[in-house]
């Protein structure tokens, strides 16, 4: 338990917490910058620009065919320390601090940045929460190694959890989200003694992140103001269906990851060509709507109200946006599933909303349900939705959709996806020597 006495004099404790948050926010700049570059490149493709295919845009769409094999070969040996999301590695370090030097050192952090950067700039359908959470925890690990008396009132596990949450705050300019992630995902329980340190670290990380150009509301502000009763009525079907879709996504990701683990080490080039070819085909078939982390797609839906092809086109893109991240994340390319889950949930909800006459309400409920279903973290999904869309008028429906989605997902997967991925990784790594690795 943390007490003011253990934290030491209030002034030094505050300064150390703020300094930690500022450093985490600073190291998030490269990730946020490359994410903006991804949106810039993706915006050139026909689904967003409205222009026909050109040699340049065709080359962009086909880039996964070359880049994915390269990533798998690099992950096999040269950049092996950077393979995987990053969040399971932080969770393992929190549970067993003796692993932190190996999993959170400078080497795996740089490897993960390079791998994720190549994947992002080649328009792979990946988010960035894994790498930013990892680099946040890595900053804390480095500070504790260099200065053993840094924040002595915090245990190693607590320090890594706070800094990992701050990485999420810095990556998405969402300080409250970082706090909730610490509680819901890393520690699994509410600890009042950790709340104010987490708020300070997360707020400092988000403030520094915003100086690098990270927007306050990434998607814009929704204009819909439907009555509460209407929100709640719509939240029931969209929440349940979105939660089941998120659960299917999580199960597919686990199954594909298990299937590809050994193959990615034995045949990285062949597997990379197959996965990269499929992702390039998805980009060509969707005009680019299946690529990137999904934020540009959601902004496009909010701004224009439609994708080419109407509701059938949106449902087709939804299918590609479920399968695409499974392929990319399943071969251990660093990334995240928050934005991809938001995106397929948004397509589901927007399609339903178009048919029922409230597309923005459907989009907000759908993206919340998709994320809550994929992660089984309903509070995080609610805060993320409000932060990205900047509209508290939809809070009643968003709350109900998130809770129903998380429960619906639990019918298909008995634990949150990041915990399941961590357990799968540990199981496969322990079995690797017996498999000839």
* Close Cβ partners of 253 (under 8 Å, ≥ 6 residues apart): 325, 326, 329, 330, 337, 417, 421
> Buried b / exposed e across 355-392, counting CB within 10 Å, b at 16+?
eeebbbbbbbbbbbbbbbbbbbbbbbbbbbbbbbbebe
Q: Report which secondary-structure segment, H or E, holds 22.
A: helix 10-27
Digit-by-digit pLDDT tens for the chain (437 residues) are 444 444 444 455 788 899 999 999 999 999 989 999 999 999 999 999 999 999 999 999 999 999 999 999 999 889 999 988 889 899 989 888 888 888 998 999 999 999 999 999 999 999 999 999 999 999 999 999 999 888 888 888 889 999 999 998 888 888 887 778 877 777 766 667 778 888 889 899 989 988 876 666 666 666 667 788 888 999 999 999 999 999 999 999 999 999 998 888 899 999 999 999 999 999 999 999 999 999 899 888 887 777 877 888 899 999 999 999 999 999 999 999 999 999 999 999 999 988 888 888 899 899 999 999 999 989 888 888 877 665 677 888 999 999 999 999 999 998 888 888 888 888 877 766 544 33
| Closest to 95 measured CA to CA, from 24, 12, 188 | 188
Domains and CATH numbers, the chain: 4-211 (1.10.3080.10), 228-435 (1.10.3080.10)
- Measured CA to CA, the distance from residue 53 to residue 284 in angstroms comes to 9
> How big is the CA angle at 283 (ends 281 and 289), to the nearest 5 degrees?
150
What pTM did the predictor assign? Answer: 0.90
Specify which residues 336 forms β-bridges with. 127
Give the angle 177-305-227 at the CA atoms, nearest 5°. 65
Distance of alpha carbon 433 from alpha carbon 426, whole angstroms: 12
CA angle 89, 95, 97 (to 5 degrees): 80
Closest by Cα among 104, 113, 79, 71 to 330: 71
Question: For residue 333, how far is the Cα from the chain centroid?
Answer: 13
């Amino acid at each position: 338990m943390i007490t003011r006495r253990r934290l030491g004099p209030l002034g030094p404790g505050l300064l150390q917490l703020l300094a930690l948050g500022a450093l985490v926010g600073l190291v998030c700049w490269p990730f946020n910058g490359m994410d903006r570059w991804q949106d810039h490149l993706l915006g050139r493709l026909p689904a967003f620009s409205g222009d026909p295919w050109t040699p340049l845009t065709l080359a962009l769409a086909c880039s996964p065919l070359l880049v994915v094999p390269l990533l798998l070969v690099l992950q096999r040996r040269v950049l092996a320390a950077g393979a995987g999301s990053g969040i399971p590695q932080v969770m393992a370090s929190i549970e067993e601090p003796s692993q932190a030097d190996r999993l959170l050192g400078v080497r795996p952090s740089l490897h993960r940045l390079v791998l994720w950067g190549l994947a992002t700039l080649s328009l792979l359908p990946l988010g960035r929460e894994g790498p930013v959470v990892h680099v946040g925890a890595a900053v804390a690990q480095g500070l504790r190694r260099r200065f053993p008396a840094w924040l002595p009132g915090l245990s190693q596990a607590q320090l890594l959890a706070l800094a990992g949450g701050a990485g999420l705050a810095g990556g998405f300019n969402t300080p409250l989200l970082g706090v909730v992630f610490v509680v819901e995902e890393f520690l699994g329980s509410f600890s009042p003694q950790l709340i104010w340190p987490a708020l300070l670290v997360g707020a400092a990380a988000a403030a520094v992140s915003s100086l690098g150009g990270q927007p306050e509301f990434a998607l814009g502000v929704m204009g819909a103001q439907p009555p509460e009763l209407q929100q709640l009525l719509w939240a029931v079907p969209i929440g349940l269906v979105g939660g089941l879709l998120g659960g299917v996504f999580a199960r597919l990701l686990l199954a594909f990851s298990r299937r590809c683990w050994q193959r990615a080490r034995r045949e990285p080039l062949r597997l990379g060509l197959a996965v990269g070819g499929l992702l390039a085909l998805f980009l060509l078939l969707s005009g680019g709507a299946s690529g990137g982390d999904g934020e540009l797609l959601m902004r496009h839906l909010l701004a224009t109200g439609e994708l080419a092809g109407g509701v059938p086109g949106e449902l087709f893109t939804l299918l590609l946006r479920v399968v695409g991240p499974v392929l990319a994340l399943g071969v251990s390319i660093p990334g995240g599933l928050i934005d991809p889950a938001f995106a397929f949930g948004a397509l589901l909800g927007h399609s339903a909303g178009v048919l029922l006459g409230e597309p923005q309400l459907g989009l907000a409920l759908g993206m919340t349900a998709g994320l809550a279903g994929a992660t089984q973290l309903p509070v995080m999904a609610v805060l993320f939705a409000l932060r990205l869309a900047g509209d508290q008028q939809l809070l009643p429906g968003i709350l109900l959709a998130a809770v129903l989605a998380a429960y619906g997902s639990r019918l298909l997967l008995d634990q949150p996806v990041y915990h399941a991925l961590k357990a799968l990784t540990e199981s496969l790594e322990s079995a690797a020597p017996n498999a000839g690795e």
